[in-house]
Amino acid sequence: MKLRSLSVKAAIRGSQYFVLGATLVMAATEHTHAQSEPLGNIVQQFDAYRSKALQEKLYLHLDRRFYACGETMWFKAYNTDGVLHKPLDVSKVVYVEVLDETQKPVLQGKIALKDGTGNGSFVLPVSLASGKYKVRAYTNWMKNFGPEFYFEAPVTIVNSFTSLGLAPEKAAAAYSVQFFPEGGNLVQGVSSKVAFQAVNTKTGKGIDFTGKVVDGEGNEVAQLQPHRFGIGQFTFTPAASASYTAIIELPDKQVIRQKLPQVYEQGYSLHLQELNAEQLQITVSAAGPQQLEPIYLLGHARQLIGVAESARLQQGSATFVVDKSKLAEGITHFTVFNSQKQPVSERLYFKRPTQMLQVKAASDKSLYTTREKVTTNLLTQAQAGQAIPANLSVSVYKLDSLQNESATDIYAYLWLTSDLRGTVEQPSYYFTASGPQADEALDNLMLTHGWSRFRWEEVLQEQQAAYKFLPEFDGHFIRGKVTDAETGAIAKNITTYLSAPGRHVRLYNSTSDETGLIQFEAKDFYGPKEIVVQSNFKKDSLYHFEIFSPFSEKYAARPWPALELEEHLQQELTQRHIGVQVPYAYHEKHLNVFSAPGIDSTAFYGKASATYLLDDYVRFKVMEEVMREYVPGVLVRLRKGKFHFNVVNSPHSTLFNTNPMVLLDGVPVFDIDKIMAFDPRKVRKLEVFTTRYFHGPEVYPGLVSYTTYQGDLAGFQLDPRSLLVEYEGLQLQREFYAPAYNNDQQRQNRLPDFRNLLHWAPDVVTRADGKAALSFYTSDQPGTYVVVVQGLTNSGLAGSRSITFEVKQQPL
């Protein structure tokens, strides 16, 4: 297939998402068309950008956040559109990686998506060092927009087979303090709100402190006191040519002196405040010669425009009153543009969503003994009394000093953290808490974690950018490059073939573009394989082939918390170490069972015109005899000492006068002499296609396909100019295993069971009545266990729920 540019209009193939999204934009911005031309141009360019830049949001439900080497990490991927949060069936592959503290991937997998969901797993090798890691996930399309768009979640992995280096109880802390002027900059003579955040960089959590802000002469201009999670704000008016310093006293009595951001002589400032329950007031102030120029305000939430207004600065100030009813739920970006259409100030505002997926979960008891059956009933509702089907994932694990309940859920991620920069501590707080203090904490979060999912330079440029990475509609893209083997120069318009020897005959082709790039759409390509990349060496004999890694090589610049394992955790770490080894000692045969991917095993060319199972015939030792005696649809010719095949063109009762596509276990063989020299006793099946076959841009004058008994080429020597490389396809789905204790004999079995993960169910679907049930068994470990349920409906409602139960030791 040739590489091509792609508009997302075509990419989503008329999806309802795009039609509805475009309708919302038109309705929200209809009133702006009669306004100033620059504002109309901004709106039009924004809408044009949005129509091409489809946003995918990807969420990964991890079974836990603390692992020991040797355990399995389970996960489920939910892919949604970035506007309505509906499951998005565009990308069919998600790339999942585990990164160490140097941003080096230590585990990688390609997970198949269907209807916007997919699940997979990683067995954590004992070669990993103990530390903090990050799990990230993204699609091929998301690689166009940068690593900040990828899903990321921190996890802890401990290697209990090596020295853990447990730290003393009170290790020295390290702190970071940042300041964020509202709207972006401090401008002299303009009253400004400044937010701040202080965190312990080892834990990533906010800290409490006291402090003040002083000018260059030591005069106090403001006091500092965090409101929640180390985040707070203060207001002051910076003077001309002044600099300011924050003096902060930390919990350990350490004092930090830190400069505030620069004060500008000219510029813009933005201030947002709640005017009343229905309205916001946005005041834009300016210092400098631009005090009388027109300005433009654009407010959009997830690229849906809700506000587009213009005003003229009067004595350096202009005020906009915004009806909250015009704003979409979630984070709205208010951006101010100057008369040259340049973005000069931005502010985030959060409108709490009014609907979510109500998930109810209840176990049949609150207290169980070891090795007892637990039944959990689930109910999903759009609102109280209104049942709705949902696609859920469920994890059940033990809570202890090592493993706490995850602070991230799909609802908070889609509505909040996916659209913010940095780490949000306890994101669920902003949805469960209410009242003035919660509102203040939410506004502080908007001030300190501002981030846009695009750059205005890309939106306002004259020509929209072409996207390098296409959505993987039908399968995994295998990308590479063709160059001249002698000079290294780019080789364009070279037809290249990719195949993977096997019983399931698959062949892909691609023609190199102007830059030498090739791209194969490998549908149903599962598991580890050896792939062969080659051209027709009878025609193109001087080319070098390269296959790229499909994983992103760009990484988000986010803080990386340090691993802290204290001495009092020794006993639980020892218990975890034993628990890792028990399954391998007694249940190893159950740990590596994989589900069949359910793919079509038919050869890519479908039903052949004729099929020959050679064991049904007298076996000849020479391939020429086989072809002449048994295969009337292929005539063997000898010209100038070289063998040729002429396939009968059966619809027209004529012969093709050029060689057909000849395959051995799916690998093209362009030299007929080589296939004629192959031992036919190694061939199990021979198939012939006696018409023209259209394969992407290629047309073959018939097909002749040989299949060996094992699908491994049976010793056939490939052309040394071919590229032969190990390649990991889509991940085969590992089956979760847990012992069952259905009767007294099983319960009294003396084999130990030290599981801390009792159950993992990635595909729980509630019925039309919203109900579903699942069952599992407790292990030999008493303690508190949590059931975590997360999920999504087809209409885009997301939700989660967690409940706990206790397990006590079974009486002897």
pLDDT mean over 542-555: 95
Residue spans of the domains in the chain: they are: 174-352, 476-547, 611-728
| DSSP label at residue 47 | H
| pLDDT tens column, 385-435 | 899 999 999 999 999 888 887 767 999 999 999 999 888 999 999 999 999
- Tell me how far apart the alpha carbons of residues 195 and 293 are, in angstroms, rounded to a whole number: 28
**Radius of gyration (Cα) for the chain, nearest Å?**
32
- Tell me how far apart the alpha carbons of residues 770 and 750 are, in angstroms, rounded to a whole number: 40
Residue 664 has pLDDT above 90, yes or no: yes
| pLDDT tens column, 202-225 | 778 899 999 999 999 999 999 999
The sign of the dihedral angle between the CA atoms of 596, 598, 604, 609 is positive
| pLDDT tens column, 617-661 | 999 999 999 999 999 999 999 999 999 999 999 888 899 999 999
Residue 359 has pLDDT above 60, yes or no: yes
Domains 174-352 and 611-728 share a fold: no
Q: What residues contact residue 675 under an 8 Å CB cut-off, 6+ apart? A: 623, 662, 664, 669, 706
Residue 591 has pLDDT above 70, yes or no: yes
Q: Which CATH class is domain 611-728?
A: mainly beta
Structure confidence at residue 17 (pLDDT): 38
- Tell me how far apart the alpha carbons of residues 163 and 777 are, in angstroms, rounded to a whole number: 33
- Tell me how far apart the alpha carbons of residues 123 and 135 are, in angstroms, rounded to a whole number: 14
Alpha-helical (H) ranges within 677-772 are: 744-747
The kind and range of the H/E element at 44 are helix 37-52
Residue 116 region by backbone torsions, left for phi larger than 0, else alpha for psi between -120 and 50, else beta: left
pLDDT mean over 563-585: 86
Residue 468 has pLDDT above 80, yes or no: yes
The sign of the dihedral angle between the CA atoms of 653, 656, 661, 663 is positive
pLDDT mean over 664-668: 96
Tell me the pairing of strands 267-274 and 279-287. Answer: antiparallel
Residue 499, phi then psi, degrees to nearest 5: -145, 160
| pLDDT tens column, 99-131 | 999 999 999 999 999 999 999 999 999 999 999
Q: How many CB atoms lie within 10 A of CB 345?
A: 26
What is the band of 48 on the pLDDT scale with cuts at 50, 70, 90?
confident
- Residues, the chain: 812
- Contact (Cβ atoms closer than 8 angstroms) between residue 133 and residue 154: yes
Task: Name beta bridge partners: 688.
Answer: 610, 704
Q: What residues contact residue 768 under an 8 Å CB cut-off, 6+ apart? A: 387, 389
Structure tokens at 517: 């790039």
The kind and range of the H/E element at 480 are strand 476-484
Fold observed for domain 174-352: Immunoglobulin-like (2.60.40)
Residue 72, phi then psi, degrees to nearest 5: -105, 130
Share of the chain above pLDDT 70, in %: 93
| pLDDT mean across residues, the chain | 89
Structure confidence at residue 223 (pLDDT): 94
Min mean pLDDT across 5-14, 154-163, 375-384, 403-412 is at 5-14
Residue 718 has pLDDT above 70, yes or no: yes
- Tell me how far apart the alpha carbons of residues 423 and 416 are, in angstroms, rounded to a whole number: 11
- Contact (Cβ atoms closer than 8 angstroms) between residue 553 and residue 105: no
Structure tokens at 635: 């005539």
